[in-house]
Chains A and B, each alone.
Chain A
Amino acid sequence: MKGLLLKDLTVLMKQTRIFLILMAGFCCIPRNLFFPCFVVLYTGMLVISSMSFDEGSKWSLMAAMMPYSPTALVMEKYVLGLLLVGIAGAWGLLAQSIFAGQDILVTAFGIGAAVCVTLLLLSIQVPLMHRFGVEKARLIIILGCGALGAGSALLGNLVDNLDIIADAPWMRYVAFLLPAATVVCLGISVWVSVRLYRRKIKKGLL
């Protein structure tokens, strides 16, 4: 798997190096959690870009001929996601708490939430990409996000005081529930993706 990871990291770095350097710099802006969280989300989505590059160059067919099992080929994208999101999260935490003087607990909570949301998104996107291909999956995700946004706006209109949600007793467990849900979703996502990948092989869709 190391070879595959190196390939993806090399391709991504060549494509996004300057943008990532800029973003890493923006993470140091004092008392600003937006950029560290954005960088986490962005790096997570690089996995999707990497799958898109693979599809463009028909790399998947070449990789399937190499001594990698279907599970290893699927898992590699998840490992890539965890690696990128982990590095981005760690850098955001370091930059905000050390260079920008932000409270470490607040930063950890904010970035931790961003990491979980990014990995949840990834766990939805990767199987969709295996099932529908890059372009269709992107469209589905955009439509899904649009529907989520509209739903949130509707909820905002229906509930007069959003503090009701924030003050709900179960909210104190979010810090534990969110990471647990992320781990479970990632596990299910890997299982589904491996099955979808094997189906692609069977049907000759690589």
Chain B
Amino acid sequence: MRNAIEVKGLTKSYKDFCLQDVTLALPSGSILGLVGENGAGKTTLIQLIMNTLGRDAGEIAVLGEDNQSPEFLEVKEQIGIVLDEAYFPQILTAKNVNRLLKYSYKNWQEEQFYSYLHRFGLPENKPFKDFSRGMKMKLAIATALSHQPKLLILDEATSGLDPLIRDEIVDLFYDFTREEDHSVLISSHIVSDLEKICDYIAFLHKGRLILMEEKDKLLEDYAVVRATSEQLVKIEARKILGRKKADHWTDCLMKRENVPQGLEPERTTIEEIILLMGREAQTK
């Protein structure tokens, strides 16, 4: 299976932050959820993938092309992008945006764009500055989907939206991947959204990739065990991947294969795995 995105050994340093040696791949036809706290490096990673930010080391290939090659310009025609805000000039209307993008993307589908406007209930002639945040994001999503993209890159596209709209939009992304060569990279700190649609989960914490795994495998392989302090001392520390202390016990995240006899492994959720791993990484 060809990878829609391949990142190898990617490093980018700032004065106060460093994205360190990130290696991940998004297989074609899948949805990869990029999770991480604010400032974990999700947006930096997306900007590096889109080559709008220079990297210090590493390699990035998008839809089979090195993202620093001249051919990447053609690849960008096949990428629909939604950033954390919709950065259109405030005075433009949806109609103006259509005209701007019609002459920017070779495969721009005007009819499809207007059908999304209609579906999302967006006005054609209202200036962008008068849109609510939900409307702005919907417009950005409509533009990303209206030029026959093969890859969607979404940076916090659902944050700040109410649950109803979020659900509708998440379903839209899910529908997008029905075509087998369509892939989605979605970054969010709302893990429940990602849990619903993603095939793979990548967890970034303070610029380091802590985890990159198939979602179903994560749920199969990881478990939470509730251990008393006596039971806890008998578990090898390196086998505990995350922990949460309560008054009389500690919830430990472990691989199922490492759970000692006598302790009952409980099914966990992606949100719990991320939270416990993040907490553990913070204490190190």
Co-complex (A, B): yes
The one of A15, A59, A66 in contact with B104, judged by C-beta atoms closer than 8 angstroms, is A66
- Smallest CB separation, A167 vs chain B (Å): 50
Contact check, B87 vs A67: say whether CB atoms are below 8 A apart. no
Q: Which of A5-13, A91-99, A103-111, A132-140 contacts B (4 or more CB under 8 A)?
A: A5-13
Q: How far is the CA of A4 from the CA of B89 in the complex (A)?
A: 12
Does B53 lie at the interface of the complex (its beta carbon under 8 Å from any beta carbon of A)? yes
| Residues of chain B at interface, number, CB under 8 A | 31
Q: Does A6 lie within 8 Å of B99, measured CB to CB?
A: yes
Judged by DSSP, the binding face of B is: loop
B100/A65 in contact, CB under 8 A: no
Q: Which stretch, A21-29, A78-86, A174-182, A197-205, touches the partner chain B?
A: A197-205
Selected from B52, B53, B77, B103, the residue in CB contact (under 8 A) with A2 is: B103
Distance in angstroms between the alpha carbons of A96 and B52 in the assembled complex = 47
In this complex, the interface size class of chain A, counting residues with CB under 8 Å from chain B, is 20 to 34
List B6-29 residues whose CB lies under 8 Å from chain A. Answer: 14
CA distance A123 to B233 in the complex (A): 71
A3 at the interface (CB under 8 A from B): yes
Chain B residues positioned under 8 Å from A204 (CB to CB): 14, 44, 47, 52-54
Residues of B within 8 A of A141 (CB): none
Which residues on A are within 8 Å of B, measured CB to CB? 2-4, 6-7, 10-11, 14-15, 53-54, 56-59, 61-62, 64-69, 201-204, 206
User: With A4-B104, A53-B89 given, can you name 14 additional A-B contacts, CB distance below 8 Å?
Assistant: A3-B104, A7-B92, A7-B96, A7-B100, A54-B89, A57-B89, A57-B90, A59-B88, A62-B87, A65-B81, A66-B76, A68-B104, A201-B53, A206-B53
Q: List residues of B whose CB falls within 8 A of some A CB.
A: 14, 44, 47, 50-54, 73-74, 76-77, 79, 81, 83, 85, 87-92, 96, 99-106
